Structure 1
Amino acid sequence: MPAQPKSALPASIDAVETLLAAGDYVADRPLATSLFLALKMGRPLFLEGEAGVGKTEIAKVLAETLNRRLVRLQCYEGLDLNSAVYEWNYPRQMLEIRLAEAAGEQDRGKITKDIFSRDFLIERPLLQALKDDAAGPPVLLIDELDRTDEPFEAYLLEVLSDFQISVPELGVIKAAAPPIVIITSNRTREIHDALKRRCLYYWVDYPNAERELAILERKVPGAPKRLSQEIVRFVQALRNEELFKLPGVAETIDWTRALTFLDKVALDPETIDNTLGVLLKYQDDIAKMQGSEAAAILRQVQQELAGL
């Protein structure tokens, strides 16, 4: 399969907005500015915000619109170097040793050198991201960094500072050109300042009503306009409530799709009660909002739209 041609990075903030819009991502000007600067300066972009506000999607859209390879490192508690960086193919190494012994090879130094070569190295996401290709450096997504522990953060300092990885048996492996790095965090814990200093920072907040409606128009183009307007205003009102987990943009999109599958053209109390599990993910939140609370918000929403 022929390699994709190398695509140029956007030359202005307006070009970044156009690029994201081409991937159906509706960005505000501050986010487009931060992304433009990160691309221009060759620095990682550290995105914090609540779950479901579109942090991960930025990396996906960048990779798609720039025709770059997306390398995703999904973080979790207990993530180690074997899963994130590299590991040796031990079964294959053992097989190679047995074959060498069977062939009468006695030079242990040569055997060791052979089995600790790149041919036996299993590359994990961070090492994969240092490999260039014809389309240009890949987009490296380090997703939900706050789920890992501090030792792993410390390891990332070398990668994010010099875009290189030290493999004791092989030496230093350095990227010919830095990857485009997007790091996300849901802020379940604070990330160390040493790592943040290597990045540009942006807080991805919930969108206002106008931008959230524009997102729905792109993501669920078949939804009735009245329904989309009511959904956006209802979700915006929910975010002012004392809930364990406020609904993100991802939930707004899912709820809109669900209601279009049910052939709804407007919200009604019964439909809201029956489908709150698409929008809210904790039973205590659902129980709090079902019935009179949701109905009161809906009345307020309908009054606001009637006054437009």
Structure 2
Amino acid sequence: MTTERAQSDQLRPRRDPSRPQGDLTRARSDPMDDWSRRTVEVEGVSKTVYVAGSGPAVVLMPEMPGISPDVVRFARWVRDAGFRVHLPSLFGVDGAYPRADAVETVVRPACVSAEFRAFAGGGTSPVVEWLRGLARVAHAECGGPGVGAVGLCFTGNFALSMTLEPAVIAPVVNHPSLPLDDPGALEFSAEDAAAVAERVERDGLRVLGYRFDDDTWCTGRRFAAYRALLGDAFDGRVLPGGAAHPDPPPFFRDVVGCAHSVVTAHLVDQEGHPTVRARDEIIAFLAERLGPSATPTA
């Protein structure tokens, strides 16, 4: 099989026809009218950023296929815990409910975009430079000891790449899926990987990570690669796949096809549930690293 064919097959819908199609009343977009919409320019590149809350800055990056209602829900939880959340628009339609056809309209274009390096051998995605600039802007505005960076899926590893910006002191990598074609690799250039490892060791950073145990987009091999790079500084936590929400939105049901998005599409919003505990652990980690003005969700 050619490399191009193999890469294309990874993005093919995986829906199990025996599974229920879900309740269409859940198919709602989020107007995001409680967020301020800003344009942030970094070295001549401008992007839309949604900002809300007060306190230490957290840059929360969306997962594929964009800033979905579940991503916004998680962002609100972080905001309400005492952080000023910066949610950049990197792909997709902001606030849109994630339907299966997004694989053609959002995912494939992003995979060949000059801003992203979706496949092995591509090195660090260029968009990370802009994200580091956003972290600098956010830190200058919010103050405090530093900035949190939370990546999800396609942007999961970006949170770690962002630590080459000194302001970033609390990286969280959630189910990082890149590179798509090599489950044992990390989305880094060799130079950036060495620099990140040096920065983590020098400054005593801790890196928090989450995945489901049966996630085929972020396998145990990827977490092993993080541990090989960072040693005990990488705290990789694994949830049972059976804990994932059984009826996620169509993109995650039909395209992703497995338990994947721990704190967004596959979160079960019930007290004491493993995915809710993961959410609270992330918020507690951010509060611990970024300062006493932020408090974990009760």
Please indicate, yes or no, whether the TM-score normalized by the shorter chain is above 0.5: no
From the two aligned structures, give the one with the greater helix fraction: 1
Larger Rg belongs to: 1
TM-score with structure 1 setting the length: 0.27
From the two aligned structures, give the one with the greater strand fraction: 2
